[in-house]
Amino acid sequence: MPIAALLAVVLIGLTVTSWMIDQNAVRASVERQIHAATGLDLRVDGDISVSVFPGSSITLRQVGLKGTGTRGSGIVDEPLTVDELTASLRLLPLLMRRYEIADVTLMRPRINVKRTADGRSNWSPILETLARTIKPGADSPVSFSEIRIKDGALTYLHKAHDIDETVSAIDLSLAWPSISRSFAATGQFDWRDEHVDGSLSITDFIAALSGDRSGIKMRVASAPLKFAFDGAVASRTSLLMEGTLTADSPSLRNALRWIGQTPPGSGGFGRFALKARTNVVGESVALTNVNLELDGNTAEGVITYSNSDRQTVQATLAADAIDFTPYIDTVRLLASGARDWNRQLFDLRGLSTTDLDMRLSAAKVAIGNSKLGRTALGANLRNGTLALSIGEAQVYGGILKGSLGLTRVEDDADIKAQFQFTDVDLASCASDLLGVSRLTGRGNLAFALEANGSSPFALAQSLDGTATLTGHDGAVGGFNVEQLLKRLERRPLSGAGNFRTGSTPFNTLNIAIRFRDGVATAEDAQLEGATTRIMLTGTASVPSREYDLKGVASLIVASDAPPAFQLPFVVQGPWDDPLIFPDSDSLIRRSPASAPLLDALKDRKTRDAVKSVIERITGSRKPSAQPAAQPAPPPQAAAPQPASPEPTTPAAPAEVQPIAPAAADSHPEKTD
């Protein structure tokens, strides 16, 4: 009964108190306490409601800050507007007609931040007022320290840098510095369609508002990116921060897109982690003692970022091993059939957003199947022009030096490349760079090429420049020229046989090629071995990837002696599987059976006699027509000529394919 009576008394007291509360007095008390805590005066444009049971609070609707912003024509330009401001009141002081705030809730606040080119914003006067007013401690007139924000929105506009951002669904809990000088905020918000959890802690909030140095801890976690900063902050003429920054992302490409950057290319930029000592001065960020991990590659060094006029990144990094395969794996020069150039258009938008100046050194570098040793390279990207330079790289057992320039001209790529491979292994070099897998030895390769186009096929059509290859002490696999020439020297009409086996060794190899509008012309192509010599002339089409070459293969017995046997030949067909045709006329003339006949056919009378015999055998002319037209006896010169089968010999070789299987090798005398 006593407990029930007490509850009844309390309920009656609350009811009577709610009747006796003066709403204007409560409003004035709340506004005074908020002014004492922040130095800001409220402007209430809506109605007011006071509740005592079940919870004691006062709600002010359509609240703004006096002396800030303008209202007119439906356009609101104020630093802060709140749909509902609810102040919870302490119960015991309320019963004694004292209105003390326990906490404050801002429902659907709208925070507008606008910065000018000089760095000031519409919030600068408010922050200066807060810095002058807040005086935490035991003598502080502020009775509350918690402020909650629900369903808020923040807009940030910086016209000088063309920035217009909106943060929505803000739910935060603020620990206001009423007793201590610290400030803390925890909660979540939505930015660019991603949910973000964050926290902020400032050791000396008053010093931070005044621009003095203060400790700061910040944590931000979202699906695309997580980062944390632990250090100190100050803001006098410009923002100053120093401390330790850590960041990680499952996909740096997605994180860059989320923060508004266009990642270059379409490959790589996956798993990312960063830890570094950070110094921020205005819009410049310097990272030292960097430990960077990207796509499984780990590097150390320094990185600087500036966003004054253009976004600029400078870096000097060193690594034990780097794999560039993820970044070039999506660059398909050839179509899926591997016999035609890719016609897909380049995406060069990433070249125009950020300037880059990077120096990178690594003990090992992998580019696809190519493995490089110690490498030093530089990359410079400025105003849409990318310049790559290789100071020195150990590759294919030799040294690589050169440069590559890529310029975006509207939708086209203008490419210039100059590279020199010195004393490299030709087997691996030719296989990786030229797609030729039948060359061995050591040598030098140099080329200077230019091309312009919107796709690999367009680049192939416009290719200009030069290329030289010199080799020594190697071999060309796939055929044995010496064996082939010796066979044809003995039996010219025996066919080439199975010549696509073995290899042709060489002492020296010299190739000089000039490119013009996608056509490669062999200006000097010569292979010389101990017993063979091969010389080539002609062209090769880069767009269609086909050969059209002529050459002479010579069998030599001594360097100062004339060739013992020479065989002209033709090379035609696709690069990966060309056809080689020996010259049939040369083989026929070297045949012991056909050579006398060909010499005899040089005489007109002999030629007419042979023709007459052939016509009689084939029946192409009636026998009776000859006595009537010419009663004279048949020419005597025709008697020595064999009637069969030699008269048909000149016609037969014309149908013999130059590269035919050597089925006649078992009966060479029959073939001859």
More confident residue, 152 or 328: 152
Q: Quick one: tokens of 75? A: 């356009």
Q: Is residue 113 part of a domain?
A: yes
Spell out where 396-502 has E strands: 398-409, 412-425, 439-453, 464-477
Residue owning tokens 């090429």: 449
Residue owning tokens 């050194």: 361
The verdict on whether omega for the bond into residue 635 sits within 30 degrees of 0, i.e. cis, is no
Domain of 96 in residue numbering reads as 23-180
Residue owning tokens 């045709």: 581
Q: What is the helix (H) or strand (E) element at residue 360, kind and residue range?
A: strand 354-367
Instruction: Judge whether residue 621 has pLDDT over 80.
Output: no
Instruction: Judge whether residue 131 has pLDDT over 60.
Output: yes
More confident residue, 462 or 308: 462
SS3 633: coil
Instruction: Judge whether residue 228 has pLDDT over 60.
Output: yes
Write the single-letter amino acid at 632.
A
For residue 136, the model assigns a pLDDT of 79
For residue 54, the model assigns a pLDDT of 67
Share of the chain above pLDDT 90, in %: 40
Q: How far apart are the first and last CA of the chain?
A: 136
Q: Single out the residue in 153, 180, 207 at which a domain terminates.
A: 180
Number of neighbouring beta carbons within 10 Å of residue 514: 16
- pLDDT average, residue stretch 528-553: 90
For residue 81, the model assigns a pLDDT of 94
Q: Which of 29-33, 97-101, 489-493, 543-547 has the lowest mean pLDDT?
A: 489-493
- pLDDT average, residue stretch 226-251: 93
For residue 650, the model assigns a pLDDT of 39
What tens digit of pLDDT does each residue of 258-278 get? 988 878 777 888 999 999 999
- pLDDT average, residue stretch 627-632: 45
Taking the C-alpha atoms of residue 491 and residue 473, their distance in angstroms, rounded to an integer, is 31
pLDDT band at 398 (very low <50, low <70, confident <90, very high): very high
Cα separation values, 160 from 154, 170, 237, 311, 641, Å:
19, 26, 17, 14, 101
For residue 284, the model assigns a pLDDT of 92
Q: Single out the residue in 132, 161, 180 at which a domain terminates.
A: 180
Instruction: Judge whether residue 16 has pLDDT over 60.
Output: no
Work out how many domains the chain is built from and give that number: 2
Number of neighbouring beta carbons within 10 Å of residue 433: 15
pLDDT band at 665 (very low <50, low <70, confident <90, very high): very low
Taking the C-alpha atoms of residue 656 and residue 574, their distance in angstroms, rounded to an integer, is 23
Q: Which of 30-44, 259-273, 395-409, 607-621 has the lowest mean pLDDT?
A: 607-621
Q: What is the helix (H) or strand (E) element at residue 513, kind and residue range?
A: strand 503-516
For residue 652, the model assigns a pLDDT of 37
Q: Residue 180: which residues within 8 A CB-CB, separation 6 or more?
A: 136
Nearest alpha carbon to residue 214 among 242, 247, 188: 242
Pairing of strands 239-249, 272-281: antiparallel
Number of neighbouring beta carbons within 10 Å of residue 362: 23
Give the torsion sign (CA, 133, 139, 143, 146): positive
Q: Is residue 611 part of a domain?
A: yes
Q: Residue 163: which residues within 8 A CB-CB, separation 6 or more?
A: 156, 157
Inter-residue contact 268 to 326 (CB < 8 Å): yes
Nearest alpha carbon to residue 442 among 402, 399, 480: 399
Q: Residue 140: which residues within 8 A CB-CB, separation 6 or more?
A: 178, 179
What tens digit of pLDDT does each residue of 500-539 get? 667 889 999 999 999 999 999 999 999 999 888 999 999 9
Q: Quick one: tokens of 14? A: 């609350």
What tens digit of pLDDT does each residue of 182-212 get? 999 999 999 999 999 999 999 999 899 888 9
What tens digit of pLDDT does each residue of 31-72 get? 888 888 888 899 999 998 887 766 788 899 999 998 765 444
Q: Is residue 142 part of a domain?
A: yes
For residue 23, the model assigns a pLDDT of 76
For residue 420, the model assigns a pLDDT of 95
Taking the C-alpha atoms of residue 649 and residue 588, their distance in angstroms, rounded to an integer, is 10
Q: Is residue 162 part of a domain?
A: yes
Q: Is residue 586 part of a domain?
A: no
- pLDDT average, residue stretch 363-378: 88
Taking the C-alpha atoms of residue 339 and residue 330, their distance in angstroms, rounded to an integer, is 18
Q: Residue 200: which residues within 8 A CB-CB, separation 6 or more?
A: 183, 184, 185, 186, 216, 217, 218, 219
Nearest-5° Cα angle at 341, 338 to 342 = 100
Instruction: Judge whether residue 632 has pLDDT over 50.
Output: no
Nearest alpha carbon to residue 322 among 379, 262, 263, 398: 379
Cα separation values, 386 from 68, 301, 317, 407, Å:
48, 22, 18, 6
Nearest alpha carbon to residue 546 among 465, 460, 478: 460
Taking the C-alpha atoms of residue 33 and residue 26, their distance in angstroms, rounded to an integer, is 11
More confident residue, 377 or 53: 377
Q: Single out the residue in 145, 180, 215 at which a domain terminates.
A: 180
Residue owning tokens 């506009």: 157
Give exposure, 24-53, as e/b (b: 16+ Cβ within 10 Å): eebbebbbebbeebbebebbbeeeeebebe
